[in-house]
A and B are shown apart, each in its own frame.
Chain A
Amino acid sequence: GESVGLHLPTLSVQEGDNSIINCAYSNSASDYFIWYKQESGKGPQFIIDIRSNMDKRQGQRVTVLLNKTVKHLSLQIAATQPGDSAVYFCAESTGNMLTFGGGTRLMVKP
């Protein structure tokens, strides 16, 4: 039978637009969160992280927002480029181990 999760949630955006990828995490005790980018045929690459004592952190073209009240994490990519096309995973940590979300596929239309 078909595996659950075979079809990833997909976000399709126009080149140059901003992208927002969302993630709901499960453990209210998680104290550290990471966003990874995985391009086709490659391993996940670290993008940006945030600690639970923060609600926003900015990097180059990327911003991560953390809402602990509703256990929600988002990744915002400004001026999305074709090279941003990939699967994006969030991960949560309680200090020892990471637990990964299922991923969102970002497709950038030229």
Chain B
Amino acid sequence: DADVTQTPRNRITKTGKRIMLECSQTKGHDRMYWYRQDPGLGLRLIYYSFDVKDINKGEISDGYSVSRQAQAKFSLSLESAIPNQTALYFCATSDFRRGRAADTQYFGPGTRLTVL
């Protein structure tokens, strides 16, 4: 979805390096998410943010940190990358409104990260 962009699309790095993955959206959504996908597995939530001042840990936040610089930008950092953080990383956004029983998320194209 071109409304959600991720940079870089591919990154190879070494163990111990600090890495930042960036996500931008033009959908005007308040909510943003970072997921990790490993081969053959579903998506696992790392962090999520319901607005600029609201950041929450997901299922697998250890070893990661995030920053919500603006409504449209949500970055994910690996403080000290390790090989088992090699995965596909997806950013997503949603526009949940009070009274609506729906939280459809729209995904970016993903960043393939390899940690050697």
Contact = CB atoms under 8 A, between A and B. Distances in A.
Contacts, number: 66
Interface class of chain B by DSSP: loop
B43 A89 contact: yes
A95 B40 contact: no
A24 to B, nearest CB: 13
B103 A96 contact: yes
A100 interface: yes
A89 B42 contact: yes
Given A3-B38, A97-B48, A46 B43 contact: no
Contact of A98 (B4, B40, B105): B105
Q: How large is the interface on A (under 10, 10 to 19, 20 to 34, 35 or more residues)?
A: 20 to 34
A51 B42 contact: no
A90 to B, nearest CB: 9
B90 interface: yes
A46 B38 contact: no
B12 interface: no
Contacts of A7: 40
A32 B101 contact: yes
A3 B104 contact: no
28 contacts: A3-B38, A5-B40, A5-B41, A5-B42, A6-B39, A6-B41, A7-B40, A31-B101, A41-B110, A42-B109, A42-B110, A43-B107, A43-B109, A44-B107, A45-B107, A46-B105, A51-B101, A51-B102, A89-B42, A89-B43, A93-B102, A95-B101, A95-B103, A97-B48, A98-B103, A98-B105, A102-B41, A103-B40
6 closest A-B pairs by CB:
A43-B107, A6-B40, A100-B42, A100-B43, A5-B41, A102-B42
Interface of A: 3, 5-8, 31-32, 34, 36, 41-46, 49, 51-52, 89, 93, 95-98, 100-103
